[in-house]
Amino acid sequence: MFSRSASLFFWMGVAAIAGYWLQPNYGHLLGAFFVCLFTVIKDLWKGQKITQWLRHNSVKEPPQMDGIWGDLIDRMRRILNEQRKQTKNEEQKLQDFLLAIQASPNGVVLIDPEGRIEWCNQTAALHLGMDAKRDLMQHVVHLVRDPVFKKYFSSESHDGEVIIDGRSGSLQKTVKLSVQLHNYGENRQLLLTRDVTSIAQAEVMRRDFVANVSHEIRTPLTVMSGFIETLQSLNLNKDEQEKYLDLMSVQASRMQDLVNDLLILSQLEGSTLPSVSEPVSLQGLMSSIESEARGLSSSQLFENEAPQTIQFETPQGVQLSGANKELHSAVSNLVNNAVRYTPSGGLITSSWALLPDQRIQFSVTDTGPGIASEHLPRLTERFYRVDRSRSRESGGTGLGLAIVKHVMQRHGGELKIESELGKGSKFTLIFPASRVFLETEAA
């Protein structure tokens, strides 16, 4: 600043001397005036260039000036750079924030005080069947036409959530959506959507399961309480009493079987996955299952009936790693089903085979009634039975195949069911090669 004033005075002095030399009366005044005028014009020109530079906002190419203007430009450039950096940072933060909301598995919709959609993420657009760009500034109730939502949106307080039908990727598939509104800012609203289809399905399954269990337990309980009443109210002789007590014991063991199977299922759901390194002796497993099956077969044989033929083939030189109790449960369920559903004189064959890819398979084949193909996909559902009375008569709980499926899933294997009505059935368990130990390896 000082040097600029000094330079101005210097040039004014030089111009004044030169003017005086040319014109002694007023030349010195004219000289000083022209220097001032020149300085003002030069400053105006420089100011104009700086204004243009600022207007075009090209921080990278500032006009080249020296002195006080150069300092000014330098400072401005630094301030502008700083501001640019700040704005870029803020923009980046906003982008990250929006990306995070986009990545959310839940839908987010921002609604303005007039009820119009200001912004929504892709999940919300998918859930509510909207277009995240085209439908901006549309009134939300024009797009979400579910009457439950309309009522919820127009109510004063938005306590809790409502469940409405939403959409998923494909237009055919509807999903259950939990929708919740929250107030924020000045009369703005945040709409959150969450796909609760699986929760709703699990809830339906839970309710069905409880209803099924209650029904399964109530039936033998009702029968038993009828017998107890009879025993209490009638004066029965010893033989009659024994007959009733036998019938009661059948009902009690039905309840016991049901509770046992329920416990097995809950243990399967809650316990850690079976080890891949603990070999189970298939010979030991099969010999106990065989004696159980033969016992069951003779217990259901009536006088003058031809007995069932049961053939057991025990594998040699192979071990299977897994949970002994679970494997026993899976294999015995299949074998016992074959015994229970095959009429007298029928043939039940069980065998093990090592497949070429080192997997191992267990199959049980029977000459029973067979199962119609429409039932096959549902057989492993809990309490699903093809013939209810046949299942109950033979002491079935309706949980056997559900247990088998669960055990196989836990062992990384699969259950295959082949059956033809009137021709018998074949149930196969296939275990992965990673669980198979050839005895030469195990030794």
Closest to ligand ADP by CB, 400 or 413: 400
Distances (CA, A) of 313 to 310, 362, 378: 10, 10, 29
Q: Which amino acid, residue 433?
A: A
- Which one among 397, 405, 407, 435 touches ligand ADP, defined by CB under 6 A? 397
The tokens describing 190, both together, are 């945040």
Binding-site string for ligand ADP from residue 364 to residue 393, where x marks contact by CB under 6 A and - marks none: --x-xx-x-------x----xxxx---x--
Q: What is the dihedral of CA 243, 249, 250, 254, to 10 degrees?
A: 160
Which residue do the tokens 């046992």 mark? 260
Among the candidate windows 188-196, 206-214, 235-243, 332-340, which touches ligand ADP by CB under 6 A?
332-340
Least Cβ distance, residue 401 to ligand ADP (angstroms) = 3
The tokens describing 189, both together, are 């609203």
Q: Which amino acid, residue 237?
A: N
396 binds ligand ADP, rule: CB under 6 A: yes
Among the candidate windows 151-159, 311-319, 321-329, 333-341, which touches ligand ADP by CB under 6 A?
333-341
Least Cβ distance, residue 208 to ligand ADP (angstroms) = 16
- Which one among 425, 430, 431, 435 touches ligand ADP, defined by CB under 6 A? 425
Residue 314 · residue 320 · CB < 8 Å: no
Q: What is the dihedral of CA 395, 291, 354, 319, to 10 degrees?
A: 110
Closest to ligand ADP by CB, 164 or 335: 335
Closest to ligand ADP by CB, 183 or 373: 373
- Which one among 125, 338, 360, 408 touches ligand ADP, defined by CB under 6 A? 338
Pick from 295, 287, 436, 242: nearest CA to 357: 436
- Which one among 398, 410, 413, 435 touches ligand ADP, defined by CB under 6 A? 398
- Which one among 178, 321, 337, 350 touches ligand ADP, defined by CB under 6 A? 337
149 binds ligand ADP, rule: CB under 6 A: no
Least Cβ distance, residue 222 to ligand ADP (angstroms) = 20
Least Cβ distance, residue 366 to ligand ADP (angstroms) = 5
Closest to ligand ADP by CB, 251 or 321: 251
Residue 410 · residue 274 · CB < 8 Å: yes
Closest to ligand ADP by CB, 46 or 406: 406
Closest to ligand ADP by CB, 130 or 379: 379
Contacts with ligand ADP: how many residues (CB under 6 A)?
22
330 binds ligand ADP, rule: CB under 6 A: no
Binding site for ligand ADP (CB under 6 A): 333, 337-338, 341, 366, 368-369, 371, 379, 384-387, 391, 396-402, 425
